[in-house]
Amino acid sequence: MIDRDTGMGAMSLSRRRFLAQAGFAGLSLSATQAWAQAIVRLPLASDPRDRPITSEFPQKGALILQRTRPPLLETPLEVFDQGVFTPNDRFYVRWHWADIPTEIDVGTFRLAVRGHVNKVLSLSLNEIIRNLPQVELNAVNQCSGNSRGLFQPRVAGAQWANGAMGNAKWTGVRLKDVLDLAGVKAGAVQVRFNGLDEPVVPEAPDFMKSLDIDLARNGEVMIAYTMNGEQLPLLNGFPLRLIVPGWYSTYWVKMLNDIEVLDKPDDNYWMTTAYTIPDTPYANIKPGQTGVKMVPISRMVPRSFITNIADGASFPAGVKTLARGIAMGGDTGVAKVDFSADGGKSWQATRLGTDYGKYSFRQWETDFTLPERGAHSLMVRCTNSANVAQPSVPNWNGSGFMRNVIETTPVTAT
């Protein structure tokens, strides 16, 4: 109606809508980012904290845009409040190189198994699905650098808040069964995994990761062809993804198409330089400290999060309130989750939700009351079944890896 009155046509209406959206998203850089619809303010240690929310990636719903190309998409906190499994269209995305195939033909795709084996294989998806026993596992996939943006002093890299993680039911085949089909020769020490993604610059190191042969054959490591009962979104590694339960996501190679059994340790860049951590408790060093022995990152550690209360939320003092969230044990199950409404001075046990297996998220909930008006700190602490608890002091390393300090949610009682 306004347009008719002012004589503006449909073109200018859509132009104005576009400008309004771009302005709302805080994006004045370029018209090509007009697809961002809203912004989220992440609880990072310093600015910039605002990120666009995008729904413009294929097979994906609303996610936090950390980088457009190659995609880094973070899962918003509220998704973790909606259930213990992370929906495929909200599951975070992380790629190293921008040359990502955008077309996968399930008829012609092949998985190679080669190297130190008796028989080189080239397996079709049909052969993998039909000829090998199908297995299922619930497991958390978490980026090594999840929560990097909370590190102080700040470090370079993807500036994730806590959403570079997700939990899914993975269905597929055991890696061990695939290796047995090829027949691993005596003297094998590692197995190297490569996917279809490639660097834009051909001389750059292709992204490949390796596991020790015993881990590769432990019967738990698997090759998934579905995720939460559906084929994987392309950006989560369609058609096949390596699943290494309890280990950081760097090993969960996406678009897996090549398995090479090695008779000597892998010395490729992604094993020996990238994704290495200080060989110290909590991978912790002092900022600026040098001369520390570095080792490849491996097993995850316990973490827990409040998912129904955002940073800075306010509640009436003296009224009983529900706190709820998720926990993970890391490389083993969740034994208990404790909650504190007084900044860690006192702790109360929480009620744990259904146990979906030791590698899965587990929900927790508890009631609390803020006794008096003013600022309060809510905290949550997971202890895993190996009796490893989250520490009260944050770790630091130059790559921003393995954060697992007890997280604090500042709130106000009114």
Partner 1 sequence: MGKHVLIMGLLMGAILLPSQTWPEELPALKSVHVELPSGDSQFPGGAGADAINNNCLACHSADMVLNQPALPRATWEAEVHKMINAYKAPIDNADIAPIVDYLARTKGTN
Interface residues with partner 1 (CB under 8 A)? 29-30, 32-33, 35, 44-48, 51, 54, 56-59, 65-72, 97-98, 100, 102-107, 125, 129-130, 133-137, 149, 154, 156, 158-159, 171, 199-201, 203-205, 225-226, 231, 234, 238-239, 269, 273-274
Q: How far is the CB of 236 from partner 1 (least distance, A)?
A: 11
Question: Do the bridges between strand 407-413 and strand 374-384 make them parallel or antiparallel, or are there none, so unpaired?
Answer: antiparallel
Residue 58 to residue 70: CA distance in whole angstroms: 14
Structural tokens at position 304: 């827990």
Instruction: From 255, 342, 277, 221, select the one nearest 70 (Cα to Cα).
Output: 255
**CB closer to partner 1 out of 339 and 396:** 396
**CB closer to partner 1 out of 81 and 177:** 177
Residue 68 to residue 292: CA distance in whole angstroms: 34
**CB closer to partner 1 out of 33 and 210:** 33
Other Cβ atoms closer than 10 A to 346: 10
Residue 411 to residue 394: CA distance in whole angstroms: 20
Structural tokens at position 186: 């005596």
Residue 37 to residue 388: CA distance in whole angstroms: 41
Residue 252 to residue 223: CA distance in whole angstroms: 9
Q: Alpha carbon 186 to chain centroid distance?
A: 35
Residue 176 to residue 347: CA distance in whole angstroms: 43
Q: How far is the CB of 29 from partner 1 (least distance, A)?
A: 5
Residue 287 to residue 79: CA distance in whole angstroms: 33
Residue 21 to residue 35: CA distance in whole angstroms: 8
**CB closer to partner 1 out of 44 and 301:** 44
Q: How far is the CB of 342 from partner 1 (least distance, A)?
A: 31
Q: How far is the CB of 281 from partner 1 (least distance, A)?
A: 25
Q: How far is the CB of 134 from partner 1 (least distance, A)?
A: 5
**CB closer to partner 1 out of 115 and 149:** 149
Q: How far is the CB of 22 from partner 1 (least distance, A)?
A: 12
Residue 188 to residue 185: CA distance in whole angstroms: 6
**CB closer to partner 1 out of 136 and 263:** 136
| Residue 63 CA: distances (Å) to CA of 151, 235, 367 | 22, 13, 30
**CB closer to partner 1 out of 43 and 325:** 43
Q: How far is the CB of 78 from partner 1 (least distance, A)?
A: 21
Question: Do the bridges between strand 121-124 and strand 110-115 make them parallel or antiparallel, or are there none, so unpaired?
Answer: antiparallel
**CB closer to partner 1 out of 174 and 376:** 174
Q: How far is the CB of 320 from partner 1 (least distance, A)?
A: 39
| Residue 13 CA: distances (Å) to CA of 226, 309, 352 | 43, 38, 52
Q: How far is the CB of 375 from partner 1 (least distance, A)?
A: 25
Q: Would you give the DSSP letter of residue 99?
A: B
**CB closer to partner 1 out of 45 and 310:** 45
